[in-house]
């Protein structure tokens, strides 16, 4: 997963191993999108938005300018 931040920060893209539960609203969006035939890229975008809010921004408590996108995924394990 790659992270981008506001210009002038030192947060270049890096590999991370993340274990995180997504809130129900993001899990629901993922399932609804999958049922509607969303592409892999669309599903990755929803998951990245969820991780951005929960893991990186800590529910709005930090990293306000951070944008997250999935790139070069090595491994993903999903439990429902």
For the chain, the domains span 2-69
Best CA proximity match to 78, nearest among 38, 44, 49, 53: 44
Q: Which residues contact 34 (CB under 8 A, 6 or more apart)?
A: 43
pLDDT in the model for residue 70: 74
Contacts of 16 (CB under 8 A, 6+ apart): 1
Strand segments (E) across 1-80: 2-4, 67-69
Residue 18, pLDDT score? 80
Mean pLDDT by 10 residues, the chain (80 residues): 56 70 89 95 88 82 76 73
pTM of the model: 0.71
Query: What is residue 29's predicted lDDT score, i.e. its pLDDT?
Result: 94
What confidence score (pLDDT) does residue 36 get?
97
- Cβ contact 12:4 at 8 Å: no
List residues bridging with 68 in a β-sheet. 3
């Amino acid at each position: 997963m790659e992270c981008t931040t506001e210009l002038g920060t030192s947060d270049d893209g890096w590999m991370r191993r993340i274990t995180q539960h997504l809130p129900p609203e993001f899990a629901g969006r993922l399932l609804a999108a999958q049922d509607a035939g969303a592409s892999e890229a669309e599903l990755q975008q929803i998951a990245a938005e969820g991780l951005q809010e929960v893991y990186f921004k800590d529910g709005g408590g930090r990293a306000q300018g951070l944008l997250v996108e999935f790139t070069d995924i090595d491994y993903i394990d999903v439990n429902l």
